[in-house]
Amino acid sequence: MNKHPSNPLMQTTSPPWHTHPHLSRWAFIALLLLSYGLLVSSSLQKSATVDEQSHLFRGTAYLKANATHFLWGHPLLASSFNALPLLTEPDLQLPQDDPAWHSEQWWTAADAFLWLRNASPLRLLFLGRLPTMWLTLLVGAMLYRWGRELGGRQMALLSAALWLLDPNVLAHGQLITSDVALTLCFVLTLYGTWRYAQSGSGGAPLLLAGMGLGMAGATKFNAAALLPIFGLLLAGLAVRQRRWQPLAFGLGAGVIALAVISAVYRFNLAPCVGRFGVAV
């Protein structure tokens, strides 16, 4: 006869570290801090790439002077987001008296803006790179959330680590380009679509998918590749479920996307005249 019955509390085993909620959360925070440190330290050592100054100039010109005649090459959302920290600079100067400003030669005007008219070009370059780094971390956070919903905390950490520590991501996640911003839009759209497929209801999934589509359209022209992907996913879901609601979800997301694009352009419905005088 056992005189000392075992204590049930003594028999419980602790969950593995990667499934423990607090440890998993702290591990993810450590991943974010490590990735951010790598991005910042590398950015401080890298000179400007060939197109960074152009992206930064276009965004700054739009936010500070409402100049839309430099935007025929790319939509303005990502470049404007990169330019936001520059608005805190009290002595920021735009080359509005330069002939390149009026002739739409954005590459020449960008050179004058970053290297001739402002006293601290490297500071402006670093400030413009910060939003891309923040977006890189945000994509990692979204992948962590999605991975946790798919397969628990272990998959969440693996998904976040594969993104946050990938050399290609670390190389591009510090530059003033639209690549990371477009990636965020893709993830947001697909995550919203997946949430809808799991729940069958709109609401938050519809808002996520619509915002992702709209921001993608206002970030890069080749975001049009997202439309057939989005449409095929919903069409396949409609066929599998034998109901029309997924198609209505896609229509609703499209309406939200158009509203987002209109809001990015300040609801200006006038045609944008491109470089060759063609209204687009």
Q: Give the pLDDT confidence of 115-142 residue by residue, as tens digits.
A: 988 889 999 999 999 999 999 999 999 9
**Tell me, what's the pLDDT at 275?**
46
Measured CA to CA, the distance from residue 265 to residue 4 in angstroms comes to 75
Mean local confidence (pLDDT), 65-92: 87
Q: Give the Cβ contact number of residue 89 at 10 Å.
A: 15
DSSP type of residue 115: I
Measured CA to CA, the distance from residue 265 to residue 248 in angstroms comes to 26
Non-local (6+) Cβ contacts of 230 within 8 A are 189, 193, 209, 213, 250, 253
**Tell me, what's the pLDDT at 255?**
95
**Tell me, what's the pLDDT at 105?**
79
Q: How many CA atoms lie within 13 A of 254 on its CB side?
A: 13
Residues 168, 213 contacting (CB under 8 angstroms)? no
Could you tell me which of 128, 126, 164, 129 has the C-alpha nearest to residue 147?
164
**Tell me, what's the pLDDT at 57?**
92
Residues 98, 113 contacting (CB under 8 angstroms)? no
Residues 165, 37 contacting (CB under 8 angstroms)? no
**Tell me, what's the pLDDT at 99?**
86
Output the six-digit token pair for 67. Answer: 């100049």
Measured CA to CA, the distance from residue 107 to residue 235 in angstroms comes to 43
